[in-house]
Amino acid sequence: MNLTELNKIAAAMVAPGKGILAADESSGTIKKRFDAIGVESTETNRRDYREMLFRSKEAMSQYISGVILYDETIWQDAKDGTPLVKLIEQSGAIPGIKVDEGTQALPMCPGELVTVGLDKLAERLKKYYDRGARFAKWRAVIDIGSGIPSMTAISVNAHALARYAALCQAAQIVPIVEPEVLMDGDHDIDRCFEVTSRVLNMTFQELRVQRVALEGMVLKPNMAVSGKKCAKQASVEEVAEKTIRLLKACVPAAVPGIAFLSGGQSDQEATAHLNAMHKLGPLPWGLTFSYGRALQAAPQKAWSGKAENVAAGQRAFSHRARMNGLASKGEWQSSLEQKAA
């Protein structure tokens, strides 16, 4: 393991003004997104859509540091035969790969899940590295509800995240460690804070036990937010303050950077929250975005599967990428959204 090189890549992934595009939706998830815009989810349409994003010169060169790919996408070539990973590299961004294989029910823990995919991961990582991937992602899912999460669910998912991270670093790949506490319930922000604190503490405990070099990883956590069904939604300022307090208490300064997931927030909510956090600096780590839907909903709608809409889709993507790039430096203003509307 060359830790200097891993640290260099991790730092580039969270460079000021740039963030990570999560284009790693599973076939099932992207089908739902395409259904919403009336596009059939064929391999060709998925390729064309992602090629549109990766050829968005302004967004990719100025605001996107890396792209998380799905297994199908990393092996695909663009219409002209150029591997999609090469398009990403040519823009100056870093190709990455989602390596978990989804979730299964956790035995003895009703309503809870464990992420799977560690079997043969070492072999898969070598193939991904040879294809051009320099970072990877593994997502653990922790739900909040009546009597959950259990310590069992937190522990087994943290253990799997750390095993994955160690395998990545052994393969000279930077691991994105993603323990996501879902925002689907009716819990308030303080319950989210408490659960996320437990999850992060257990995750870093496991990372240390399994000898993962913190300097060669990126954390992808949820923000401290109210559940979607909670009657009282926390303000932008409260989300920012509590998230930063949580991270300072749980995330060692050795970690080069934190790239938030959007987790079901609207486009502008995710941008506003990230921007507000940068008003609370200085921070011990880089702080940026790793958004999927919050970067892609607008370009998907603008594109709608039509070749004549590619330029409009790229403009929509560039706008959202720029807004989040500004937010990752604390320079975003809501008036910038109105001007572009």
Is the confidence at residue 172, as pLDDT, over 90?
yes
Per-residue pLDDT averaged across 157-167, rounded? 98
CA–centroid distance for 195 within its chain? 19
The Cα angle at residue 256 between residues 158 and 135, in degrees rounded to 5 = 65
CATH of the domain at 191: 3.20.20.70
Is the confidence at residue 339, as pLDDT, over 70?
no
Q: How many CB atoms lie within 10 A of CB 147?
A: 9
What is the DSSP annotation of 160-195? HHHHHHHHHHHTT-EEEEEEEEP--SS--HHHHHHH
Q: Taking phi first (over 0 means left), then psi (-120 to 50 degrees means alpha), and beta for anything else, what does residue 304 get? A: left
pLDDT, position 207 = 98
The DSSP bridge partners found for residue 286 are 257
Q: Are strands 103-105 and 113-115 parallel, antiparallel or unpaired?
A: antiparallel
Q: What is the CA radius of gyration of the chain?
A: 19
Q: How many CB atoms lie within 10 A of CB 34?
A: 20
Residues 83-102: tens digit of each pLDDT: 999 999 999 999 999 999 99
Cα–Cα distance between 208 and 178 in angstroms, integer? 16
- CA dihedral (307, 39, 41, 178) in degrees, to 10, reads 90
User: In this structure, what DSSP letter does residue 81 have?
Assistant: S
Burial 110-139, CB ≥16 within 10 A → b, else e: eebbbbebbeebeebbeebbeebbbbbbbb
pLDDT, position 264 = 85
Nearest CA among 61, 64, 54 for reference residue 20? 64
Is the confidence at residue 338, as pLDDT, over 80?
no
CA end-to-end distance (rounded Å), the chain: 47
Is the confidence at residue 148, as pLDDT, over 60?
yes
Is the confidence at residue 341, as pLDDT, over 70?
no
pLDDT, position 239 = 98
Per-residue pLDDT averaged across 37-59, rounded? 96
Is the confidence at residue 235, as pLDDT, over 60?
yes
Cα–Cα distance between 225 and 191 in angstroms, integer? 9
Is the confidence at residue 145, as pLDDT, over 80?
yes
pLDDT, position 255 = 98
User: In this structure, what DSSP letter does residue 65 have?
Assistant: E
Residues 297-319: tens digit of each pLDDT: 999 999 999 999 999 999 999 99
Domain extent at residue 13? 3-340
CA–centroid distance for 309 within its chain? 27
What is the DSSP annotation of 213-259? -GGG-EE-PPP----TT-SSPPPHHHHHHHHHHHHHHHS-TTS-EEE
User: How many domains are contained in the chain?
Assistant: 1
Could you check whether the bond before residue 282 is cis, i.e. omega within 30 degrees of 0? yes
Cα–Cα distance between 322 and 329 in angstroms, integer? 11
Cα–Cα distance between 149 and 76 in angstroms, integer? 38
Cα–Cα distance between 6 and 24 in angstroms, integer? 22
Cite the active site residues: 178, 220
Nearest CA among 171, 66, 93, 59 for reference residue 126? 171
